């Protein structure tokens, strides 16, 4: 009892072949889409790799790029086979390859599904990488004269302005590190000496933030320095002041940005997986309908198409039996050789 048996006459076969050929070209474009999404994600990660300590995992974009390329190739080949299936003389040369090709397609679809799941899962390691990277990034904000870190200030400033965020979790993170370089501190001034003396590590800490934390929507000019001192600024209460600097932390902002990106890519890859499954089933129908012609000499005769020749259970037992036979066959050959060796 075949799985999902469908009767086909000549017209139906032609229509099926045309539809599946059209869908295959659609699937080629879907493959290009997956490839370009992988490329885009890779570029986005590279752009901010400084903020992730340069040790972010490029596994996901690499897998997407690879899957996109394989999808293009597989779908182009499938489209060619569909096109030739309408002509019996051309189809003959593809016939022996079809079964292994279909098995390969099934495996490829499974891998695509795993890739889609990966998109949703890889969010978690990325979160940790971002947290670590931002913390270190803020520490190196002042090192604009250290080779290898001289662009950290610019990167952080641009990021805070673009993502509308300040600090790691909130703006107070800037109070805990020295973000003014020693080159611009007058060590003979009393105020500087007081500040440095007042903490254990000898760091110049201040209750101020860089300019990139400023919120343009604030009705008053930005207050960056002496933020916790209400008397330093007229009509200012730092507990109720909301619009002055960005309230959100940059870790949250970046995670939600990359998380949204990965969710979108995951959803698109799922859609592509479903398309691939549809074309694989279509090709299987074409293959089975062309190989079960009632009258093999007459290409216009009726035929039947199916997904599996026997039911799922029977197919499974068949596969297990085949595998056992193959392994037994191997054993028998070994014994025969050993027997020959001992005899000789």
Partner 1 sequence: MVLLKIKFTQQRRVHLAQGLWLLSWTAVIWGAIIFCLGVYLKMELLRRDEVMDNTEIHVVPNILIIVGLASIGTNWVASCVCQDSLDATRFPRWKVLLLGWFPVAAVLCCLLISVVVLSFALQGRLEESLKVGLRNGIRFYKDTDVPGRCYQKETIDRLQMEFRCCGNNNFKDWFEVQWVSSRYLNFTSKDVKDRIRSNVDGRYLLDGVPFSCCNPSSPRPCLRYTLTDNNAHFNYEYQSEELNLYSRGCRQALTDYYMELMNSTGPGVLSVILIQMSVILGMRYLQTAVEGIMALEDPEGESDGFLLEKGVKETMEDLKVKALIMLQFRLVDPIATEGSSEDADLEKAEKEASPTPAS
The residue behind tokens 């999404």 is 37
Could you tell me how many residues of this chain bind partner 1 (CB under 8 A)?
Answer: 30
Q: Is 121 in the site for partner 1 (CB under 8 A)?
A: no
Residue 117 CB partners (closer than 8 Å, separation 6+): 266
Shorter beta-carbon distance to partner 1: residue 123 or 233? 233
Categorise residue 303: left if φ over 0, alpha if ψ from -120 to 50, beta otherwise: beta
CB 216, min distance to partner 1, A: 4
Shorter beta-carbon distance to partner 1: residue 233 or 247? 233
Q: Is 148 in the site for partner 1 (CB under 8 A)?
A: no
Residues between 150 and 169 with contacts to partner 1, criterion CB under 8 A:
150, 153-154, 157-158, 161
User: Do the beta carbons of residue 38 and residue 62 sit within 8 Å?
Assistant: yes
Shorter beta-carbon distance to partner 1: residue 120 or 236? 236
Shorter beta-carbon distance to partner 1: residue 21 or 174? 174
DSSP for residue 8:
E
Q: Is 8 in the site for partner 1 (CB under 8 A)?
A: no
CB 211, min distance to partner 1, A: 4
Residues in contact with partner 1, shown as a per-residue x/- string from 194 to 233 under the rule CB under 8 A: ----------------xxx-x-xx-xxxx-x--------x
Token pair listed for 115: 């890739």
User: Do the beta carbons of residue 82 and residue 21 sit within 8 Å?
Assistant: yes
Q: Cα separation of 232 and 187, whole Å?
A: 23
> Which helix (DSSP H) or strand (DSSP E) does residue 194 occupy?
helix 190-197
Choose the stretch contacting partner 1; rule: CB under 8 A; options: 25-33, 44-52, 78-86, 173-181.
173-181
Q: What separation in angstroms does the CA of 90 have from each of 84, 85, 292, 332?
A: 6, 7, 17, 40
Shorter beta-carbon distance to partner 1: residue 108 or 163? 163
Dihedral angle computed from the Cα positions of residues 134, 135, 137 and 141, in that order, rounded to the nearest 10 degrees: 130
Tell me which residues touch partner 1 (CB under 8 A): 144-145, 150, 153-154, 157-158, 161, 179-181, 183-186, 189, 210-212, 214, 216-217, 219-222, 224, 233-235
């Amino acid at each position: 009892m075949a799985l999902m048996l469908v009767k086909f006459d000549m017209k139906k076969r032609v229509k099926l072949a045309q539809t599946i050929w059209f869908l295959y070209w659609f699937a080629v474009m879907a493959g290009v889409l997956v490839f370009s999404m992988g490329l885009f994600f890779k570029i986005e990660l590279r752009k901010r790799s400084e903020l992730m300590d340069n040790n972010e995992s490029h596994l996901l974009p690499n897998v997407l790029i690879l899957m996109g390329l394989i999808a293009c190739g597989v779908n182009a080949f499938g489209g060619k086979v569909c096109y030739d299936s309408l002509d019996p003389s051309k189809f003959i040369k593809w016939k022996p390859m079809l079964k292994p090709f279909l098995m390969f397609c099934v495996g490829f679809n499974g891998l695509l599904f795993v890739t889609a799941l990966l998109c949703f899962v890889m969010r978690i390691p990325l979160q940790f990488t971002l947290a670590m990277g931002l913390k270190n990034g803020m520490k190196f904000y002042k090192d604009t004269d250290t080779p290898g870190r001289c662009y950290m200030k610019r990167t952080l400033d641009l990021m805070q302005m673009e993502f509308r965020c300040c600090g790691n979790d909130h703006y107070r993170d800037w109070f805990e590190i020295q973000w003014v370089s020693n080159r611009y501190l007058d060590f003979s001034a009393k105020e500087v000496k007081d500040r440095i003396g007042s903490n254990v590590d000898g760091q110049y800490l201040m209750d101020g933030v860089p300019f990139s934390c400023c919120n343009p929507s604030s009705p008053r000019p930005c207050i960056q320095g002496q933020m916790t001192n209400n008397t330093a600024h007229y009509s200012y209460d730092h507990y109720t002041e909301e619009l002055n600097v960005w309230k959100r932390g940059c870790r949250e902002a970046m995670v939600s940005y990359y998380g949204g990106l990965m969710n979108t890519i995951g959803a698109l890859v799922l859609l592509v997986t479903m398309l691939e499954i549809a074309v694989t089933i279509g090709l299987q129908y074409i293959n089975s309908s062309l190989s079960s012609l009632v009258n093999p000499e007459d290409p216009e005769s009726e035929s039947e198409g199916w997904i599996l020749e026997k039911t799922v259970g029977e197919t499974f037992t068949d596969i297990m039996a085949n595998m056992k036979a193959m392994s037994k066959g191997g054993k028998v050959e070994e014994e025969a050789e050993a027997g020959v060796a001992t005899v000789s």
